[in-house]
Structure 1
Amino acid sequence: MSVLDRFSLAGKRALVTGAGRGIGRAIAIAFAEAGADLVLCSRTEADLEAVAADITALGRKAEIMVCDVTDSADFEAKAQDLPGIDIFCNNAGINRPKPIFDVTPDDYDAVMGINLRAAFFAARTMSMHMRDRKIKGSIINMSSQMGHTGAANRTLYCASKWGIEGLTKSLSIELGKLGIRVNTICPTFIETPMTEPYFKDPNFKDYALSKIQLGRIGQVDDLIGAAVYLASEASSLVTGSAVMIDGGWTAS
């Protein structure tokens, strides 16, 4: 294989959750550009239709799967009906940053419900999907730099992402014998619709930039190279690993 061939996703099918906007949208389009056909999953059909139109314009196929990933039974039922999925990007997530003194049980249930519980059962579903079809696939769990460090006002988010890191390492051990690889992508703060409100606070933006050694806030395009790498044969001996895309945040 040539270097470019090893990064190709031609002939592969990928499922991306949270695919309607932000990071999920960028990764789905990158997978299509690398040659994959897509199954796009989120709660909002209109968002998915817009992404699907972008993907079909690239000459790839895009199927819409409207689903709330917190409904694990619905996700499992719909995933069982899909033709073979080679790549699963477990991307859906939320954040509710606030001091620990202000975190409520509702905050806990919402953040852990999506970031950890839904991600856990989605990974379980896709592990079975690949196992039953004898697919030597790639599962990419969207983590964060906050899965490797701590931060004020983010105890809940950090707990969820440290959980994702533990899930990923354990899954890589359990699924390795099946040829299924499991890794995480760990971004710093990326400009998306979800993070846009944070950067309206100049003090927060100054704080983030003071921790990012490369001196800039991340963009969704900063993540797509790692996503294609982990999805492709270029990373065929990589599992149980975390790809840090944090501008040096966790190095300090």
Structure 2
Amino acid sequence: MNFELQEKRILVTGATSGIGLDIAWSLTELGAELVLFGRNRDKLVELEQELGARTLALDITDEAAVSEAFAEMPALDGLVNCAGISRLESALRVRAEDLDALMTTNVRAAAIVAREAAANMLAHGRHGSIVNVSSQAAMVALEGHLGYCASKAAMDAMTRVLCLELGPKGIRVNSVNPTVTLTPMAERAWSDPAKRDPMLAAIPLGRFATPREVALPVAFLLSRSASMISGTCLPIDGGYTAH
């Protein structure tokens, strides 16, 4: 088994906080050279110093800016599409602007970054790997998550199409689908027992995921140990979607 990523250059979007930040640290520990996209300029400067990463403050919903960033991108071996947003709304209160924002960031921007990353890999003759950070919300209905569920289901559909089209060119594409993951923001959001306890009761393992428990499967899918895995949507949910 080889989970190491030495001499692999990997782009991570949404790298300045949450799951993306833990993915960046885990990939560095496994030897990867990183390119990091994010919006928090101060955090990017910090990560550039701490991880030796190449960083770029970028709004990935700006297609022209993304294309410009890739014009000077070194050869990539992998992409982690982790940038994303969430909006919570009931079906009877859903707003068009929330749906547009979710689809713009979670689907359209991810597709554009994947397009550019795949073109980069092909131009440099690399057989690479793309991992989309999706959600258990793509697989089951979650109350109050109409737009978010739809956007993550679209991301999983995108994963399968990318797998079909890029596989013959030597590029693997997979998704990971985490349950509630205890980033600092999620810890605050799920601190109320009335909200937390019913969700925990629905998870057979009886707990939420840690960011590290998401980052390591991402690293596996990027590695040579996953060389025959493509087109999968991997639940990291403690059994939640087994119901």
TM range (shorter): over 0.9
Aligned partner of 1:190 in structure 2 is 181
The 5 Å alignment of 1:1-252 reads 3=1, 6-55=2-51, 61-252=52-243
Q: Which position in structure 2 is the counterpart of 1:58? A: none
1:194 deviates by 4.1
What do the CA deviations read for 1:151-182 (whole angstroms, capped 9, x no partner)?
11011101001101110011101001110000
In the aligned structure 1, how far is the partner of 2:100 from the partner of 2:188? 22
Distance 1:133 1:77 in 2: 18
Question: Shift of residue 51 of structure 1?
Answer: 2.6
- CA distance 1:193–1:107, change in 2 (3 Å): farther
CA contact (8 A) 1:13 1:36 kept: yes
Q: CA RMSD in A?
A: 1.2
**Paired amino acid for 2:216:** G
C-alpha distance in 2 between matches for 1:46 and 1:175:
35
Letter in 1 for 2:5: L
Structure 1 residues 196, 73: closer, same or farther in 2, change over 3 A?
A: farther
Sequence identity percentage:
38
Q: CA deviation at 1:78?
A: 0.4
Residues 166-221 of structure 1, C-alpha deviations (whole Å, 9 max, x = no match): 10011101001110000001100011244344313322111210111101111101
Mapped partners of 1:53, 1:200: distance in 2: 33
Structure-2 separation of matches of 1:220 and 1:111: 22
Deviation of the 1:234 alpha carbon: 0.4
Q: What one-letter code is carried by the residue in structure 2 that aligns with 1:80?
A: A
Inter-partner Cα distance in structure 1 for 2:53 and 2:175 = 24
Amino acid of the structure 2 residue aligned with 1:211: A
| Distance (Å, rounded) in 2 between the aligned partners of 1:201 and 1:67 | 34
Stretches of 4+ moved more than 6 A in 1? none
Does the 8 Å CA contact 1:16/1:91 hold for their aligned counterparts? yes
Distance 2:89 2:185 in 1: 15
Q: When the two structures are aligned, how many residues end up with a matched partner?
A: 243
Query: Please, which moves more after superposition, 127-136 or 240-249?
Result: 127-136
Equivalent position SS for 2:92: helix
